[in-house]
C-alpha cells in the first residue's frame, strides 16, 4: 500500500474484513529447524544484498537532490536552523526593550518594525526559530517512537491485542485535542520538556494508526512468512524484518507530523500553554501581539509568515520524499 503523502489510507479494519477469508499464518505450526552457522553461500548472498541496499540508498539520495520540491524545502528548513543557531550574532538583541520606540513601523533602524515593548521584530522573528526547532522535532521523534511501538505491536499480532489497542486509540482520538492538551498541560505544568511530551503524546495515536497500516501491509509478504517459518521470535521479526521495510512510510509520516508539531506548538502558545516571556517564540508572539494587528500588523505578520514558511518547507520536504519514494 502506497502511503506517500498520506497519513490515512483506507481503513485497515475494512481490509481485515476482507482478509478473513485467507489463511492466518499464525495457525501454521512447523518444527523449528536446528540452528546452524551461516554457510559460505549465505555470506555471499548477504553481501550481495547489502551492496544492493547501499546502491539503492545512493540512488534515492541522488533523486532527492534532483527534486526541486525537496531542495526548496530543505533550503528553507536549513535557513531556519541556521537562524536558530546564529541569529543573535547577526541581529540586534531580541530582548532589548525600548519604550521610546513602541509599535514603530518598519524603518532603517528596525527593518521589521518594533513590537509593543519597543523590541526589534526582525531580531525576534529570527530568534523565534529556536524554540520551535527544538520542540517540534523532539515531539515528532517521541510520537514516532511511541506510535511506532504501538503500531508495530498492534499490526503484527492482530487479533485481540490489536482490537484492544485500537479501541483505546479510538478513545484518545475521540477526545477533542484542545481539551486533552489543556488538561495534560495544566496537570504537568510548564517547561519545554513538558510541551514536547504533550505534543508527542497527542500525536502518538495518529502515528500508531499509520504505522499499524503499514505493518499490516508488510505482514503478508513472503519474507515475513519465511522468517516465521524459520521460527524467528516475534520481536525479532518485527524489529529486524518488518521495521527496515517500512522506513519509507515512517519517514513520510514523521515529516508530516513535524509540520503539524510546529503548528500545534504555536497554537498551544496562543492558548496560553507555552513558553514564558520574553521568549520570541512565534506562537507566543502572535498570541500576544494579535490585538495590535490593526495598528501594527508587522508585529504579527512577520512571525506568522516565518511560521508559515517553516511548515511549508517541512511539507515540501515531505512532498519531495513522497514523490521519490513512490517511483
Partner 1 sequence: MNDEQYRREYGEHLIEQVKSGKMTRRQLLVRASVFGFSATVAGQLLAACGGSSSSSSSASPAATGSAMPAPVMGGTIKVILPPSITDLDPVTIYDQGGIVMISQFCEYLIDLDDTNALKPKLALTWTPNSDASVWTFKLRQGVKFNDGSPFEAADVVASIERLVNPKSGSAALAALAGILSPGGTKATDTSTVTFNLDKPFADFPYLVCASSYNTVMLPRNYAGNWPKHPVGTGPWLLKNYVSKQSATAVKNPTYWGKDASGNQLPYLDQVDWVFVQDESAANLQLQSGAVDLQPQTVYQGAQALFADPSLRVDEYPGTGIREVAFNVTKTPWQNKDLRQAVAYCLDRKAINTALYAGRSNLGYDTFWEPTVFPKSPTPPVRAQDYTKAKQLLTSGGKPNGMDITLTVAKYLENPQLAQLIQAQCKPAGINVTINQISYNAYYAGTNSNTPWLNSAMDITEWGSRPTPGVYAQAMLLPTSTWSSSHWNNPQFASVFNQYMSTSDEATRTKYATQLSQIQQDETPILLAFFITQLRTQKKTVYGVQGPGSFYCDLSMAFMTK
Partner 2 sequence: MLRLIGRRLLLMVPTLILASMLIFALAEVLPGDVGRSILGPYATQQQVDILNHTLGADKPLYERYAHWASGFVTGRWGDSLLLKVPVFPAVMKALGNSLLLAGFALVIIVPTSILVGVFAGLRRDSFLDRGITISTLSMTVIPEFVSGVILIWIFAVWLKWLPVQAMPPQGSPFIDRFYYLILPAIPLMFLELGYIARMARVGTVQVLGMPYIRTAVLKGLPRRRVIFGHVLRNAMVPTVTVIGSQVGWLIGGLVVIETLFVYPGIGKLMVDAAQTHDLPMLEAAVLAVAVIYMVANLIADIVVALLNPRIRMGG
State which residue, 41 or 186, has the beta carbon closest to partner 1.
186
Q: Closest Cα to residue 181, out of 278, 288, 304, 263?
A: 263
- Helix ranges (DSSP H) in the chain: 12-19, 40-66, 68-90, 121-127, 129-157, 159-174, 177-188, 192-219, 222-230, 234-236, 243-245, 247-270, 282-289, 298-325
Q: Closest Cα to residue 224, out of 251, 246, 208, 250?
A: 246
* 231 binding partner 1? (CB under 8 A): no
3 state SS of 100: helix
Which entry of partner 2, partner 1, none binds 108, CB below 5 to 8 A by partner kind?
Answer: none
- Dihedral of alpha carbons 5, 7, 9, 12, sign: positive
Q: What is the distance between the alpha carbons of residues 253 and 5, in angstroms, rounded to a whole number?
A: 8
State which residue, 97 or 171, has the beta carbon closest to partner 1.
97
Which entry of partner 2, partner 1, none binds 26, CB below 5 to 8 A by partner kind?
Answer: none
What minimum distance in Å lies between the beta carbon of 182 and partner 1?
A: 9
Q: What is the distance between the alpha carbons of residues 223 and 284, in angstroms, rounded to a whole number?
A: 50
Which entry of partner 1, partner 2, none binds 184, CB below 5 to 8 A by partner kind?
Answer: partner 2
Among 273, 282, 302, 325, binds partner 1 (CB under 8 A): 273
State which residue, 6 or 278, has the beta carbon closest to partner 1.
278
* 6 binding partner 2? (CB under 8 A): yes
* 272 binding partner 1? (CB under 8 A): yes
* 291 binding partner 1? (CB under 8 A): yes
* 197 binding partner 2? (CB under 8 A): no
State which residue, 178 or 291, has the beta carbon closest to partner 1.
291
Among 63, 71, 72, 102, binds partner 1 (CB under 8 A): 102
What backbone phi and psi angles, to 5 degrees, belong to 114?
Answer: -125, 160
Among 103, 149, 184, 229, binds partner 1 (CB under 8 A): 103
Q: What is the distance between the alpha carbons of residues 188 and 197, in angstroms, rounded to a whole number?
A: 10
Interface residues with partner 1 (CB under 8 A) are: 95-97, 99-100, 102-103, 116-118, 186, 190, 272-273, 276-278, 288, 290-296
Amino acid at each position: 500500500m502506497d502511503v506517500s503523502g498520506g497519513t490515512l489510507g483506507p481503513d485497515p479494519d475494512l481490509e481485515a474484513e476482507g482478509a478473513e477469508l485467507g489463511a492466518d499464518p499464525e495457525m501454521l505450526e512447523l518444527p523449528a529447524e536446528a540452528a546452524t552457522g551461516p554457510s559460505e553461500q549465505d555470506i555471499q548472498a548477504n553481501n550481495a544484498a547489502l551492496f544492493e541496499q547501499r546502491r539503492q540508498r545512493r540512488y534515492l539520495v541522488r533523486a532527492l537532490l534532483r527534486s526541486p520540491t525537496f531542495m526548496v524545502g530543505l533550503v528553507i528548513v536549513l535557513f531556519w536552523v541556521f537562524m536558530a543557531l546564529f541569529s543573535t550574532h547577526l541581529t540586534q538583541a531580541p530582548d532589548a526593550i525600548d519604550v521610546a520606540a513602541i509599535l514603530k513601523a518598519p524603518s532603517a533602524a528596525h527593518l521589521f518594525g518594533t513590537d509593543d515593548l519597543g523590541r526589534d521584530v526582525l531580531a525576534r522573528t529570527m530568534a523565534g526559530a529556536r524554540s520551535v526547532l527544538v520542540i517540534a522535532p523532539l515531539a515528532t521523534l517521541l510520537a514516532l517512537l511511541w506510535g511506532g511501538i504501538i503500531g508495530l505491536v498492534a499490526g503484527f499480532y492482530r487479533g485481540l491485542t490489536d482490537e484492544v489497542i485500537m479501541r483505546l486509540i479510538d478513545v484518545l482520538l475521540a477526545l477533542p485535542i484542545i481539551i486533552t492538551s489543556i488538561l495534560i498541560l495544566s496537570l504537568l505544568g510548564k517547561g519545554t520538556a513538558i510541551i514536547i511530551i504533550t505534543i508527542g503524546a497527542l500525536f502518538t495515536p495518529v502515528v500508531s494508526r499509520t504505522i499499524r497500516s503499514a505493518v499490516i501491509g508488510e505482514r503478508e509478504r513472503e519474507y515475513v512468512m519465511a522468517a516465521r517459518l524459520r521460527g524467528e521470535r516475534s520481536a525479532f521479526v518485527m524489529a529486524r524484518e518488518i521495521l527496515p521495510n517500512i522506513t519509507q512510510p515512517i519517514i513520510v509520516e514523521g515529516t508530516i507530523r513535524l509540520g503539524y508539531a510546529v503548528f500545534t506548538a504555536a497554537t498551544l502558545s496562543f492558548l496560553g500553554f507555552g513558553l514564558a516571556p520574553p521568549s520570541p517564540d512565534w506562537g507566543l508572539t502572535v498570541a500576544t501581539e494579535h490585538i495590535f494587528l490593526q495598528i501594527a500588523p508587522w508585529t504579527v505578520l512577520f512571525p506568522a509568515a516565518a511560521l508559515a514558511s517553516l511548515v511549508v518547507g517541512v511539507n515540501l520536504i515531505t512532498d519531495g520524499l513522497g514523490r521519490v519514494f513512490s517511483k
